[in-house]
C-alpha cells in the first residue's frame, strides 16, 4: 500500500502537466515558456480584446497563468458584455462554470468572513487539469482603469472551495 500512494501521486502530477495554455504546460521553466510563446509572450488577444499575460513560477516550474484584459472605457452594458462573451467561450470549451459569484458570497457568509470578495461577477471552471477563475473586478462598469476582467489558470485544487 505504501508503494501505491507515491505512484498515484506521480501519475496525477503527470496528468496535471497535460494542460496547455498557448503552447505552455504546467511545470515549464521560465526559459521554456518564453521560448514556446515567442518574443511577445506577455501579450495576447482573446475575442478581440487585448490582454497582458503573467506567468507564475515555483520551484516546480509554471504553476499559474493570469490574463488581465486591458481596460476598455465603455458604457457599463458593453463592459459586462465583454465579461459574458469570455464566459461563453470558456463555457463552450469547459462546460458550465462550477461556481458563480453568488456561491462566493454564500461561502463568505458561512465562514463568517467580514467582507465578501470585491467582484460583481465571478465564475470558476474546473477540469481534471485546470481551474479557471474568470472575474470582473471593481465596479465592473468599464469607466475607469480600476475595473478589470481577469482570467486565472491554475492546476486544480480545493483551496478556493473555501472561497
Q: Distance between CA atoms of 18 and 128, rounded to whole angstroms? A: 10
Residue range(s) defining the domain that contains residue 93 = 4-161
pLDDT (tens, 9 = 90+) of the chain, 163 residues, equals 444 433 333 334 444 446 788 889 999 999 999 999 888 888 898 888 889 999 999 999 999 999 998 877 666 667 778 888 899 999 999 999 988 875 555 555 555 544 444 446 788 999 889 999 998 876 665 565 566 788 999 998 645 444 4
Buried b (16+ CB within 10 A) or exposed e, 104-133: bbebbeeeeeeeeeebbbbbbbbeebbbbb
Model-wide pTM > 0.85? no
Are 150 and 66 contacting, i.e. CB atoms less than 8 angstroms apart?
A: yes
How many domains does the chain fold into? 1
Amino acid at each position: 500500500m505504501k508503494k501505491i500512494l507515491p505512484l498515484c501521486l506521480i501519475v496525477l502530477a503527470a496528468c496535471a502537466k497535460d494542460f496547455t495554455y498557448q503552447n505552455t504546460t504546467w511545470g515549464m521553466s521560465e526559459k521554456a515558456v518564453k521560448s514556446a510563446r515567442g518574443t511577445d509572450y506577455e501579450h495576447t488577444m482573446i475575442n478581440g480584446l487585448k490582454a497582458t499575460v503573467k506567468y507564475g513560477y515555483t520551484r516546480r516550474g509554471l504553476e499559474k497563468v493570469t490574463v488581465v484584459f486591458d481596460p476598455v472605457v465603455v458604457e457599463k452594458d458593453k463592459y459586462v458584455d465583454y465579461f459574458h462573451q469570455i464566459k461563453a467561450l470558456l463555457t463552450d470549451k469547459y462546460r458550465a462554470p462550477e461556481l458563480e459569484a453568488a456561491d462566493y458570497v454564500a461561502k463568505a457568509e458561512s465562514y463568517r468572513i467580514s467582507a465578501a470578495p470585491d467582484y460583481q461577477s465571478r465564475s470558476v471552471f474546473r477540469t481534471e487539469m485546470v481551474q479557471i477563475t474568470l472575474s470582473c473586478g471593481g465596479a465592473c462598469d468599464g469607466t475607469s482603469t480600476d475595473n478589470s476582467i481577469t482570467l486565472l489558470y491554475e492546476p486544480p485544487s480545493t483551496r478556493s472551495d473555501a472561497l
